[in-house]
Amino acid sequence: MKVLALGGSGGMGRFSTFAISSYPNISKVTIADLNEANAIDYANRFDDRFTGIGLDVSDSVNLENVMRDHDVVLNTTGPFFKFGVPILKSAIKCKCHYFDICDDWEPTIEMLNLNEEAFKNNVTAIIGLGASPGISNLLGLKAINELDSVDSIITGWDMSSAKPEDESSQAGTNAAMEHALQQISGEIKVYKDDEYKMTKPLEKIDIHYPGRGSHNVYVFGHPEAVTFPHHFNNLKESLNACHGSSQSDIYIIKILRWLVDTKLISFKRGASILEWLERKIDTPSIEKQIKGLPAIYGLAKGTKNQKNATVAVTLSEEELTNTWGMGAITGFPLAFGLKLLLENKINQKGVFAPEGGAINPDDFFPLLTDHPLTVSRSWES
């Protein structure tokens, strides 16, 4: 298997590149980055299967020339609202399997609509296989599978856990922070009352987590909100939500959004400030995650044995104590997707979100953790 790692020396990509370096059934890995020197330097840390090249992904002709010499593309090149769709189209055209960490809802819909084209070209494409989206989707799928019928799915995460990586090939504004600012400004798409709707981000909603009580969370612009109804036709609600270590975290983010929306500061300046803020926000204690909302979870509401029921699924207490960085918790799931493809545990053709049926969560989670997931059920609490 020949792998093209787009952005493979970046803040997220370097973790997936590192992880796949231990896979023996890979014959070639090309680390491609706009910063050629960093790509070469990072490739030199591995064995002779790895090479680094400079590549501008906006040059589709050159990109496709490189793709044609590979079997699968791992894409960590952001922001995805700019690069996601064209890179996937090129991969399908070149008949390369494709995995990415796309965390923007805007291109996600268009990418899912490439399903038929991917199927015809015998291509497997999994989009959004990082932390959120990615782990969150599969936690949500585990929650859904506990119920007989499902009306609502909410995927959630703690914004104070999303620490930017210090080491990257990227210069200038952090693409992850550009993404975050994009998804808290303007309007975002969610699924409510059995239809897609546009709404203002960071709207406060109340959720009840079985065994942990009621909590305020804030609607965020993420792919999970649009991918779950794409794959599950009977849903009436699908939202992605964030929370902070304290109420003041949300207030500060809202002030920053207002400054950008009113054009008092530029978008790039806002992204730089957001990166600084993310580094300053305290990570939640494990006690707070156990008693309150965990750092990442899936929450499904529906019926069980003809009664109203709610199920929430998160990682184990042992796993939540691990000091996962943003790059690791995003990059490693991408690598695990490739491992499942190599083992023929992912074999469906087409374009899928993580919950779309191509990935069995019981195959995925043992790669992420040695500990069982924590499942909270309303009928047991």
- Answer yes or no: do 318 and 343 share one domain: no
Predicted model pTM: 0.89
Cα–Cα distance, 231 to 352 (Å, whole number): 8
Mean pLDDT, all residues of the chain: 89
Cis peptide before 79 (omega within 30 of 0): yes
The model's confidence at residue 1, banded by pLDDT at 50, 70 and 90, is very high
pLDDT value of residue 258: 62
pLDDT digits (tens, 9 = 90+) for 160-218: 765 555 544 444 455 666 666 666 767 899 999 999 999 988 889 999 999 999 999 99
Q: How many domains does the chain have?
A: 2
Spatial CA neighbour of 238 closest among 301, 294, 185: 301
Answer yes or no: is pLDDT of 248 > 70.
Answer: no
Q: Could you tell me whether strands 307-314 and 296-304 are parallel, antiparallel, or unpaired per DSSP bridges?
A: antiparallel
Neighbour-count burial of 251, counting CB atoms closer than 10 A to its CB (0-12 exposed, 13-18 middle, 19+ buried) = exposed
Q: What is the mean pLDDT of residues 346-355?
A: 98
Residues 237 and 272 in one domain: yes
Instruction: Please check whether residues 315 and 353 belong to one and the same domain.
Output: no
Least confident range from 84-88, 194-198, 292-296: namely 292-296
Integer Cα distance of 374 and 381 in angstroms: 13
Task: Say if residue 139's pLDDT is above 60.
Answer: yes
Q: What is the pLDDT of residue 111?
A: 98
Q: 163 and 281: one domain?
A: yes
pLDDT at residue 233 above 70? yes
Is 131:330 a contact under the CB 8 Å cutoff? yes
* Whether 162 and 303 share a structural domain: yes
- Quote the pLDDT of residue 169: 45
Answer yes or no: do 114 and 198 share one domain. Answer: no
Q: Are residues 172 and 296 in the same domain?
A: yes
Of residues 381 and 304, which shows the higher confidence score?
Answer: 304
Q: For residues 261-283, give the mean pLDDT.
A: 65
Residue 219 belongs to what H/E stretch? strand 213-219
- Checking if the pLDDT of 158 tops 60, the result is yes
Q: Report whether the peptide linkage leading into residue 294 is cis, meaning its omega lies within 30 degrees of zero.
A: no
Are 21 and 108 part of one and the same domain? yes
Instruction: Answer yes or no: do 290 and 171 share one domain.
Output: yes
Does the pLDDT of residue 99 top 90, yes or no?
Answer: yes
Residue type, 315: L
Averaged over 58-73, what is the pLDDT?
97
Is residue 76 domain-shared with residue 143, that is, in the same domain? no
**How large is the average pLDDT for residues 213-239?**
95
> Which of the four pLDDT bands, split at 50, 70 and 90, describes residue 320?
confident
Asked if residue 63 and residue 192 are part of one domain, the reply reads no
What confidence tier does 290 reach under pLDDT thresholds 50, 70, 90? Answer: low
Residue 205 and residue 354 in one domain: no
Residue 353: φ, ψ to 5°: -80, 165
What is the residue range of 99's domain? 2-130+329-363
Q: At what angle do helices 361-368 and 135-145 cross, to 10 degrees?
A: 130
The domain that contains 113 carries what CATH number? 3.40.50.720
Three-state DSSP state, 301? strand
Alpha helical stretches, state H, the chain: 13-20, 36-43, 60-67, 80-93, 105-112, 115-120, 135-145, 175-182, 224-231, 247-261, 267-280, 286-291, 317-320, 326-342, 361-368
User: At 151, which CATH number?
Assistant: 3.30.360
